[in-house]
Amino acid sequence: MKLLVAYIATAGGADAVALGSSLARTLDAELELCVVIPPEPHAPGSDEQSDIDKLSDALDHAAQAWLDDAAAMIPDDIETTATIATDPNPALGLIRQARKSGADLIVMGGSGGGILGRHTLGTVVNGILHSSPLPVALAPLGFSHVGAEQVRELTVMIGHRPGTDLLFQTAIRAGLRAHRPIRMVSLVALDEVQPWADQPDDVAVEDARKHAQSTLDEAHKRLPDDYPITSAVAQGHTIEDAVTSLEWHDGDVIMVGSSRLAAPNTTFLGSTASKILRALAIPMIVVPATEQEAT
């Protein structure tokens, strides 16, 4: 298994390296560090081209130095490689390199600023989150300082609607590979249910409870009898209220599916996931939509 870590010499880049290391140790995976730089332009005159060549060489050396610094952050027990990719679009460059190297997951950090522990998504991260054919892991701000060395538990946000089969399968595969507990959570935001659903609050909660139980029953069929997996319903007036009502610990990771607006087999960060990101300081993995889920 391989994880591609998108690196840039910022605090967000360090957070991505830390999360990549945590996931790699948990999943017994190798890491590939990747820096994307723009292609070398071509000038019409020889003098201008000479100057461009010098700048390009300087950029190449800087990118290699960044990768050397990133590699130094990774524990010796994790197999690591480093790549400089060239592409005018950093997001597409990362996706192309992930495909080329056979990566199973792209790991990214946030942009600068914001509140410590919260997620701050920059342009490149947003581009990846709305187009990646691979799952994407997001590190909250400051993870390189306070993040756990290994994953403790995987919390899977199954919502209260069907249509998350790839998310379900991915969570089970990750749990089995990592030998970590799985918590299946169905979120119910009562203020968001009522405007479009003509049903009382207790009916909405009961529907979510039934969905959580059916998902748990299905998981038990695919897992060993003694595998540690549980289900829960988290409710509140808003998504933020619901998700913060749950108990969270260091080392927890959230896994969510993509929005129904996603193109087939690509990620698309939906409104529920965005609200979770704003509310929690927990690493999140966004799983692409299947062709059926995106229709």
Q: What is the CA angle 264-266-271, rounded to 5? A: 100
Question: How many angstroms separate the CA atoms of 47 and 54, rounded?
Answer: 11
pTM for the full predicted model: 0.87
Mean pLDDT (whole number) for 58-75? 92
Digit-coded pLDDT (tens) for 188-238: 877 665 444 555 567 777 777 887 788 888 888 888 989 999 988 888 888
More confident residue, 140 or 202: 140
22-36, 119-133, 150-164: which is most confident? 22-36
The DSSP annotation for 146-207 comes to H--SS--EEEEE-TTSS--HHHHHHHHHHHHHHT--EEEEEEEEHHHHTTT--S-HHHHHHH
What pLDDT shows up at residue 138?
95
Q: Which domains does the chain have, with CATH numbers?
A: 2-146 (3.40.50.620), 153-287 (3.40.50.620)
Mean pLDDT score of the chain: 84
Digit-coded pLDDT (tens) for 102-121: 999 999 998 654 444 456 67
What pLDDT shows up at residue 294?
45
SS3 78: coil
Say yes or no to pLDDT of 89 above 70. yes
Segments in the chain forming alpha helices (H) = 11-27, 46-72, 90-101, 123-129, 143-146, 165-178, 190-193, 201-222, 239-244, 271-279
Mean pLDDT (whole number) for 240-247? 92
What pLDDT shows up at residue 274?
87
Mean pLDDT (whole number) for 282-289? 91
